[in-house]
Amino acid sequence: MLLRRTLPLALAALLTACATPQPTPRETLPAAVQQALAQAGVPADALAAVALPLGHAAAPWRYRANVPMQPGSAMKVVTSIVALDRLGPNHRGYTELRTAAPLQGSELQGDLVLKGGADPELDVARFWALLVDLRQRGVQHLRGDLLVDRTLFRPARMDLGRPPFDETPEFAYNVIPDALQLAGSLLPLEISSVEGTVRASTVPPLPGIEFTSSMALTDRACKDWDDDWQPAKVLRHEGRTQIELQGGFPKGCTQRTALQLIDRQELTERLFRALWQELGGSWAGRAREAAAPEGTRLLVRHEGRPWGEVLRRMNKQSDNAQARLLFLSLGLARMAQAPQATTAELAAQEVRAWLAEQGIGDAGLVLDNGSGLSRSERVTPLQLASMLAAAWRGRHAAELVMSLPVAGVDGTMRSRLKDSPATGWARLKTGTLRNVVALAGYVKDPQGRPWAVAMMVNHERASHARPVLDALVDRIARQGPGGAGGGGDGAGGGAE
């Protein structure tokens, strides 16, 4: 009787097991990753990841690898890979001073053109050096206006009319760049708490900008000065700009920073006037945004560092404005053929064309600004890892690898994976938004074999899920993605 009752139950269980698809080894999460997910309070279906073997026959490992995910700043890897191939590591931005006016003695008899060429590092010191070169050309007095030409990209001012990304638009990560990008479009200043009050001044001094403060003094550490920051009040009247600082600031603290507090055109005019006068020049005109007229001649030119070098800072420090500039630069070659399209749209076309050439599908890919600071950008882990695999085989692999943060050593990975075999070996670009954490780059398994990896968590508790990604990287470094030796499920190697 017992056998007759239990046989149907056993048969039913067997049929159920056969009818339910079981995860293959390459779709199963390692125990350490499952544990990290549980501790973070994040479900397994919030994670998507893939590891592709590079130059060896191990099987790829994947988990929801074709799901489009928000990558955060891991999207900078996409921009970096395509830009290195299309533009080359020696591509440079530039800044020019031009004119169509004659020079009589030391006086320029008309307008001076300041033309932006997407130099990602045009800081105050480099701008000052450019003006020194102009003085060396014999120019001392300017009779006309300063024409600020930002028209390399379309539209020239992408920042105008755009709502802020979040509640702190003053900070550098929120800057929407343009072709000039002088001082990063940020007002350089020093804030200090002295004798019970908070004071601020621009660096260098810029006449016409005044500061007041209603900031409360706090007991925070000086390094955490921005934790109590509140948006400043900015008032403009009669050629002066008054900035009232709000929120809190640590006692006994001095900080040099740069904030997006005034419009970039005002910043350009005030910086030019102050530096030019400091160099002994005179100028009674004003700054106007305008395209350079026909027939201008070059007076002086500053070239930025090659992008192959700039990438190192861009990716290690996750600089959004630089990534957006590089992404826009991808669209420049197509602008003449598509006069109605924006430069960003053309840059997206260039990325998709590159993917097609590499045989990588673009289903589910959404491109916005190439930096990852976006609510709309999406990429699948397989797409991202396949791009990394293609770049590994490409001519500029060294420049890409050198730009990625080193686990436990530098950049945004300096404090992570300190006790892992991945320390000092894994090179990984991080991605972070309110609901996103991500990693993308290269990891070696215990046999020294390289893997291209891409992994992302999209969830409201994503900020708690960094240990999930670290556990997966650590697993690859200790055992390989598929277990001891990294053999996966025995399928063939290469990208899917």
Residues 35 and 100 in one domain: no
8 A C-beta contact, residue 13 and residue 7: no
8 A C-beta contact, residue 46 and residue 54: no
pTM listed for this prediction: 0.91
Q: What are the CA-CA distances from residue 429 to residues 164, 230, 292, 313 (Å)?
A: 25, 30, 39, 12
Please give the DSSP secondary-structure letter assigned to residue 70. -
- Which residues in the chain come in under a pLDDT of 50? 1-23, 484-496
Domain boundary among 248, 280, 303: 303
The pLDDT of residue 24 is 53
Residues 286 and 351 in one domain: no
Domain boundary among 255, 274, 303: 303
The pLDDT of residue 238 is 86
The pLDDT of residue 8 is 39
Residues 127 and 60 in one domain: no
> pLDDT (tens digit, 9 = 90+) per residue, 14-52?
333 333 344 455 678 999 999 999 999 999 999 999 999
Tell me whether strands 107-108 and 61-63 are parallel, antiparallel or unpaired: unpaired
> pLDDT (tens digit, 9 = 90+) per residue, 75-116?
999 999 999 999 999 999 999 999 999 999 999 999 999 999
Sorted by sequence, the CB contacts under 8 Å of residue 472 that are 6+ apart come out as 30, 33, 49, 453, 455, 481
Query: Omega before 25 cis (within 30°)?
Result: no
Q: Which domain holds residue 252?
A: 94-303
The pLDDT of residue 195 is 86
DSSP code string of 346-374: HHHHHHHHHHHHHT---TT-B-SSSSS--
CATH number at residue 162: 3.50.80.20
The answer to whether position 491 is within a domain reads no
8 A C-beta contact, residue 60 and residue 53: yes
The answer to whether position 2 is within a domain reads no
How many domains are there within the chain? 2
What's the rounded Cα separation, in Å, for the pair 208 and 237? 10
The answer to whether position 455 is within a domain reads yes
- Backbone torsion region of residue 255, taken as left when φ is above 0, otherwise alpha when ψ lies between -120 and 50, otherwise beta: beta
The pLDDT of residue 81 is 98
The pLDDT of residue 327 is 98
Sorted by sequence, the CB contacts under 8 Å of residue 25 that are 6+ apart come out as 482, 483, 488, 489
The pLDDT of residue 388 is 98
The pLDDT of residue 125 is 98
Residues 66 and 204 in one domain: no
Of the candidates 289, 269, 274, the one whose C-alpha atom is nearest the C-alpha of residue 182 is 269
What's the rounded Cα separation, in Å, for the pair 46 and 38? 12
The pLDDT of residue 231 is 94
- Backbone torsion region of residue 373, taken as left when φ is above 0, otherwise alpha when ψ lies between -120 and 50, otherwise beta: beta
What's the rounded Cα separation, in Å, for the pair 116 and 425? 39
Residues 253 and 315 in one domain: no
CATH number at residue 48: 3.40.710.10
Residues 247 and 323 in one domain: no
What's the rounded Cα separation, in Å, for the pair 294 and 222? 51
